[in-house]
Structure 1
């Protein structure tokens, strides 16, 4: 019989590195961003927020965005209003949507530190998300954009070549990893897409044995039965 040494501690949980690919144009990305701290509570992780151009992903995969299909657009706005209500998150649709997100994406990256130019911090992302999704204002109004830029005081040139190229690199990186929409979370080479993937992401990070079985890869083996012309 062995006795437990009270001075010994259980090994620390493995720190997981999570990349969160986001575009401020997406209400689902906003809601996921607001819910992420709760979803990851108690888990050892590091997180990088990586702005990407959702429109470039849609073009790459030959898709239309939810707001480009009239009935889906109505449903999307209705559903995100309900989800915000359900979770107690303030959300008001901006005066115009969709809008050109490039100024916001570049601003976020211009605020990122030189040591990690791919990823602005949570405060920067939160400030920009709330600029879009709270108040019901015109997102790209020049006066509002100027005020937002002044408040964040980016250390790099917002419209400089360095920032523009970083946004392209982030987007290309996401596409290469198989990302097709936002929000998307990548950890250990596994992709979790959408607001409703947060419980699945948490289960993986907690070591759920399901992820070690065949189910994760089973979908890729399903034969394509029909392709529309």
Structure 2
């Protein structure tokens, strides 16, 4: 079996949103398993002394918006640079993805639609009703998926992903681990592609 790409992600990250279609296509093209690993990015930021977007210096924030604008144009993808519901807590959506990955529906599509909801559709992805509706559109029982998270069913999986992220020196999203190498950022997908092709 081909070695997997571990995809450490935060569904609230615009860079993860930009990366997801391309890394899914890369994995499908080369028949490499793509393991979605939603994790607690806020605790990882805190652990590594990384500031949240709104707390970063103004020039850094301005450059972030410029880079998002450039990548939006380059990729031809719909993206609101400053969406109505951002920043937004990523924990509920991340845990729902953990539960979705163990369920009968299309978990990768759920992840994608949650990101689109934030970055293209001006929807609040910390809202339970919004996430339940998206889950239902992806073949899940949205109410049950939410209830599973509320029962704590996803806590251990979310914590394990976070522990593995820390152990693997993951510090942001998206991050890809493949064949012992770390690739941070949607702009490193070409290097990831080369590694996947070399390992084939």
Q: Which runs of 5+ in 2 are unaligned?
A: none
Flag structure 1 segments of 5+ consecutive residues without an equivalent: 1-13, 209-229
Structure ranking higher on relative contact order (CA contacts 8 Å, 6+ apart): 2
Alpha-carbon distance change, 42 to 164 in structure 1, aligned in 2, over 3 angstroms:
closer
Structure 1 residue corresponding to 2:12, chosen from 22, 25, 32: 25
- Please give the alpha-carbon distance, in whole angstroms, between the structure 2 residues aligned to 1:142 and 1:105: 12
Matches of 1:159 and 1:173, distance apart in 2: 23
Q: 2:101 maps to which residue?
A: 112
Give 1:162's match in structure 2, choosing from 138, 153, 158. Answer: 153
Q: CA RMSD in A?
A: 2.4
The corresponding residue for 1:6 is none
Name the structure where helix makes up a greater proportion of residues: 2
**Paired position in structure 2 for 1:103:** 92
Change (3 A) 1:175 1:90: same
Matches within 5 A, 1:170-209: 170-207=161-198
Instruction: Find the structure with the greater CA-based Rg.
Output: 1
For 2:125 and 2:172, how far apart are their aligned partners in 1?
21
Give TM-score, length-normalised by structure 1.
0.74
Q: Please identify, of 158-167 and 49-58, the stretch whose mean Cα deviation from structure 2 is larger.
A: 158-167
How far apart are the structure 1 equivalents of 2:135 and 2:29? 34
1:91 is aligned to 2:79: yes
Q: Which residue of 2 aligns with 1:5?
A: none
Q: Secondary structure at the match of 1:21?
A: strand
